[in-house]
A = this chain, B = another copy of it.
């Protein structure tokens, strides 16, 4: 079993990914992003993405109700169903699901972020949180009947309210439930870069024991990604591949070792 994580950037070659998946010899599920589409919808609807900065200096997207609507439109609606359509055209009997459907992914809503408002510190609480539980039975039921689950946010919180959540965390909770052998992560870069600004600094292989050391040398999103990848191995993965989602054959390339292979 393979978990395929597809980034939500504008440059991701979804057609190429789906064509490759159609030739795959393994069972797989797909988890996709849609941030570019979501941002564009939010912008065009006059509700652009809002970023807030916490008292401790940490910046994050604020998912208010309008932002959740944009996620439902962009992720669960436009992007998810266009991927499903493409899958169907390539002979993959995909079923697109959000974390809400069949309680597929349940989580816990964040308590709120402390931000400065003038002189005061107030707590802003948005619709975001951490995934905690997967409806493994539903995924296995669909796979057993020949369907390919194509998953995206939002997920449900503890009160069954739709919340935003990080796909890296969702991949981790899926791996805890499904124990996939391989996880392929397709991003808008050739793989893991030693120097994030230099596409020629691709690191082809990382022994999994070196992940902690790598983690300490990078920053921001890539640091969080390294931590997330370490957890995947703790939950039974034998291989994690970070591949170029922009390539003509993103999945084939990833499996042939053209990205960063972590074992």
Give A residues with C-beta under 8 Å from B: 41, 44-46, 69, 72-78, 80-82, 84-85, 88-89, 93-98, 100-103, 137-138, 141, 145, 147, 154, 156, 159-162
Q: Identify A74's interface contact among B73, B84, B97, B145, CB under 8 A.
A: B73
Cβ-defined contact, A85 with B45, below 8 A? no
Question: In the bound complex, do residue B98 and residue A81 qualify as a contact, i.e. CB atoms below 8 Å apart?
Answer: yes
27 CB-based A-B contacts, threshold 8 Å: A41-B73, A44-B44, A69-B78, A73-B74, A73-B78, A76-B76, A76-B80, A76-B81, A76-B96, A81-B101, A81-B154, A81-B162, A82-B162, A84-B98, A85-B160, A88-B100, A88-B103, A89-B159, A93-B102, A93-B103, A94-B101, A95-B102, A96-B97, A96-B101, A102-B147, A137-B145, A138-B145
Pick from B72, B85, B101, B147: contact of A78, CB under 8 Å: B72
> How many copies, total?
2
17 additional contacts (CB under 8 A) given A81-B154, A141-B145:
A41-B45, A44-B45, A72-B77, A72-B78, A72-B81, A74-B77, A76-B76, A76-B77, A76-B96, A84-B98, A93-B103, A95-B97, A95-B101, A96-B97, A96-B100, A97-B101, A102-B147
Query: In the bound complex, do residue B44 and residue A85 qualify as a contact, i.e. CB atoms below 8 Å apart?
Result: no
* Cα distance A69–B154 in the bound complex, in angstroms: 19
Chain B residues with Cβ below 8 Å from A94 are 101-102
Knowing A77-B74, A77-B76, A96-B100 are in contact, say whether A161-B45 is a contact too (CB < 8 A): no
Q: Are B147 and A85 in touch, CB under 8 angstroms?
A: no
Known A44-B44, A89-B160; contact A100-B81, beta-carbon cutoff 8 A = yes
In the bound assembly, the distance between CA atoms of A56 and B72 in angstroms comes to 39
CA distance A82 to B69 in the complex (A): 9
A69 to B85, CA, bound (A): 12
Contact of A162 with B85 in the complex, beta carbons under 8 Å = yes
Rounded to whole Å, the gap between the CB of A161 and the closest CB of chain B is 7
Task: Kindly state the separation between the CA atoms of A145 and B82 in the bound complex, as whole angstroms.
Answer: 27
